């Protein structure tokens, strides 16, 4: 079950933003923050929220562009892409990290907190591992700006997932940048997949790759505090 009516408040500016929220199914292992692609809280985000809930995690997925448009959701087509990019730039990193920190603070009283992000969210997950307080581990999927942030000091263990067929992100270059700055960070390249491969059913997605990446992310979380 997902509660679409959760409202959290960012500490840095007092802005109240919405978030999808799902309780843990079965014994609670911890909390997971799911950070969206630039398309908002679309059906793929809600599917991911449900997956993590079924695995025993309480899940929060913040609506990252509420300051620009409350409840923004766009189709995976050029106009939606352009709107998402525009909102991501307008929102900036400070607001994004303020919202993620509010999610951490909401989940932390009940156990360890982890973050996983995709595309825009993949960059934000890496940035959260550098700037936010209280994360136990982070998983970054195909974040376009991760290579440029590779030298940031990290406060928790991180794993990175990239698609070999991703036309937006040169996987080998990202892997090299991370290896130079953080040789301890595993970077996995999935040969059959392109950008957005966690979105089941899309042309870029290979289900075997997606399931392997999810298993590796779960293993990371289990190794760093999840019950």
pLDDT in tens, 152-199: 999 999 999 999 999 999 999 999 999 999 999 999 999 999 999 999
* Residue-range domain boundaries for the chain: 3-223
Q: What percent of the chain has pLDDT over 70?
A: 98
Of the ranges 17-21, 194-198, 201-205, which one carries the lowest mean pLDDT score? Answer: 201-205
pLDDT band at 3 (very low <50, low <70, confident <90, very high): low
Mean pLDDT of 199-218: 95
C-beta of residue 28 within 8 angstroms of C-beta of residue 227: yes
Cα gap 151→141, rounded to integer Å: 18
pTM of the model: 0.97
DSSP bridge pairs for 138: 115, 158
pLDDT in tens, 82-137: 999 999 999 999 999 999 999 999 999 999 999 999 999 999 999 999 999 999 99
Would the pLDDT of 1 be above 60?
no
The pLDDT score that the predictor gives to residue 74 is 96
Q: Which two tokens stand for residue 185?
A: 């960070």
The pLDDT score that the predictor gives to residue 5 is 76
Sequence-separated (6 or more) residues with CB below 8 Å from residue 175: 160, 162, 187, 189
Nearest to 45 by CA among 31, 30, 62, 28: 62
The pLDDT score that the predictor gives to residue 100 is 98
DSSP 88-156: HHHHHHHHHHHHHHHHHHHHGGGS-EEEEEETHHHHHHHHHHHH-SS-SEEEEES-TTTGGGTTS--SS
Q: 23-55: buried (b, 16+ CB within 10 Å) or exposed (e) per residue?
A: ebeeeebbbbbbbbbbbbbbebbbebbbbbbeb
What 3-state class would DSSP assign to 215?
helix
The pLDDT score that the predictor gives to residue 203 is 86
- The tally of CA atoms less than 13 A away on the side-chain side of residue 59 is 27
The pLDDT score that the predictor gives to residue 226 is 97
Nearest to 135 by CA among 125, 120, 148, 144: 125
CATH superfamily of 3-223: Alpha/Beta hydrolase fold, catalytic domain (3.40.50.1820)
Q: Which two tokens stand for residue 73?
A: 């959701």
Phi, psi of 56 (to 5 degrees): 100, 20
């Amino acid at each position: 079950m997902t509660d679409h009516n959760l409202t959290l408040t960012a500490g840095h500016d007092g802005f109240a933003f919405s978030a999808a929220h799902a309780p843990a199914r079965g014994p609670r292992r911890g909390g997971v923050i799911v950070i969206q692609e630039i398309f908002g809280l679309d059906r793929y985000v809600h599917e991911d929220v449900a997956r993590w809930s079924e695995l025993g995690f309480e899940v929060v997925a913040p609506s990252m562009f509420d300051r620009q448009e409350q409840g923004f959701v766009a189709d995976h087509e050029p106009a939606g892409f352009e709107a998402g990019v525009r909102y991501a730039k307008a929102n900036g990193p400070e607001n994004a990290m303020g919202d993620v920190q509010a999610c951490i603070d909401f989940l932390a009283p009940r156990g360890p907190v982890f973050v996983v992000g995709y595309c825009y969210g993949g960059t934000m997950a890496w940035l959260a591992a550098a700037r936010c307080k209280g994360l136990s581990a982070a998983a970054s999927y195909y974040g376009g700006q991760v290579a440029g942030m590779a030298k940031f000091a990290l406060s928790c263990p991180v794993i990175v997932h990239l698609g070999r067929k991703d036309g937006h992100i040169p996987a080998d270059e990202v892997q090299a940048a991370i290896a130079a700055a953080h040789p301890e960070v595993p970077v996995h390249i999935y040969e059959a997949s392109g950008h957005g491969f966690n979105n089941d059913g899309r042309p870029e997605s290979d289900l075997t790759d997606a399931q392997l990446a999810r298993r590796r992310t779960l293993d990371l979380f289990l190794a760093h505090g999840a019950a």
